[in-house]
Structure 1
Amino acid sequence: MSKKLVSIVALCFLIACDTSSESKAKALVQEDMRTYLPDYNSYDPIDFSKLDSAFTSSNQPEFEANNALLKTYQQRMEEYTNQLKAYLENKITREQSEYYNNLLKLTKDSARQCMARNSELMQDLAPVFSGYRMQHTFKAQNAAGSKTMHHVVYYLDSNITRIINRREL
């Protein structure tokens, strides 16, 4: 009986000594502050959010690449439209105008295909667990020397052993 009791008490101590996930995350964030801040001595922590699950999508990279391509098409359409306006102001020849008009049509078709692919990708955006996230609010001196408030979201790996990314809000 006493051996079981001693074993249970020892197990409770081991569990109690193990740091919680939130404590690990806070420790990682505070350690990152040493390299992130220009003046660590001015660091004044204000708040840590609760540790929360972070998710990404399995096709997120393809979705982002497709969005970047769509943005490029939109910029080109704007450029070609401006060139066609130049024709109306008699700044370019009719042949040049036809050339830009054809380019505009081709770019619109490409943009439509890109938008259709985006619609397909959005339907398949299934969340995949990627780790954890924690928001940290603090005051610290910036590079100019004035003390400012910062809100930073930290993304941690699934084992809470390293910071994957940080994003200042």
Structure 2
Amino acid sequence: MKKVTSILFALLSILITSCSQTNESKAKKVIKEYFKETLDDYDSYSPMNYSELNMTKTKWKLPKELEPELVKLTKVAKRINQQFGYTIKITSDADYHIERINKYTGEEYKKHTTEEFRNRLEKEKILWLEFKHYQDKINASKNSFQPEFIGWKMTHKFRAKNRMGGNELNEIEFQFDKDITKVVKARKVK
């Protein structure tokens, strides 16, 4: 009877421990299992520290149907750079440049600028409006994107021997599935 009671007590404590396991401890356990299969010398593995466990979500990607707009946006940016001597990128603030042009082509500056200068700015403004049109389409997609939860991530710093027997300091970012049962992706940080 005593033996049965002690076995039941042991099983109960194991059950309580496994149920109360935190997500962090699950992640650490999965990392160790991953290292058992991947490290050159698992016996030399020495954990140093772990980051906090954070959620990972899907990231916005340019939809296929917007690829032509990106091509057009890139072409307009090149034309602006070539024709007007800028070094803008496709992420440049079109509104800023349009406002600047409106300011210098307005009545207030008319007596201080030449007609040639104002005509040059009007040509530039046409390109900036086209640039803004394509940029706004892409940004609308980006702004309406709703990320979805896909799992967890944690960074881990550790020492382990490499194939040559040298002890190396490593830092790896691990991505886990939603239930933290397996490593989905591992990449070296440094």
TM over 0.5: yes
Selected match of 1:129 from 142, 149, 155 = 149
C-alpha distance in 2, partners of 1:28/1:148? Answer: 21
Match of 2:57 in 1: 55
Q: What stretches of structure 2 of length at least 5 have no aligned partner? A: 1-11, 79-131
How much has 1:118 moved relative to structure 2?
Answer: 4.1
Q: What stretches of structure 1 of length at least 5 have no aligned partner? A: 1-11, 78-111
Distance 1:144 1:17, change over 3 A: closer
Letter in 2 for 1:127: P
Alignment of 1:4-19 (within 5 A): 14-18=15-19, 19=21
**Bigger-Rg structure (1/2):** 2
TM-score where L is the length of structure 2: 0.50
Match of 1:30 in 2: 32
Selected match of 1:119 from 125, 132, 139 = 139
How much has 1:32 moved relative to structure 2?
Answer: 0.5
Match of 1:155 in 2: 175
Q: What whole-Å deviation, never above 9, does each CA across 1:99-118 have from its counterpart, x for those lacking one?
A: xxxxxxxxxxxxx9986654
State how many pairs are aligned: 127
After superposition, the CA RMSD in angstroms is 3.9
C-alpha distance in 2, partners of 1:153/1:141? Answer: 19
How much has 1:17 moved relative to structure 2?
Answer: 4.2
TM-score where L is the length of structure 1: 0.55
Match of 2:23 in 1: 21
Identity, % of aligned pairs? 27
2:174 is aligned with 1:167: no
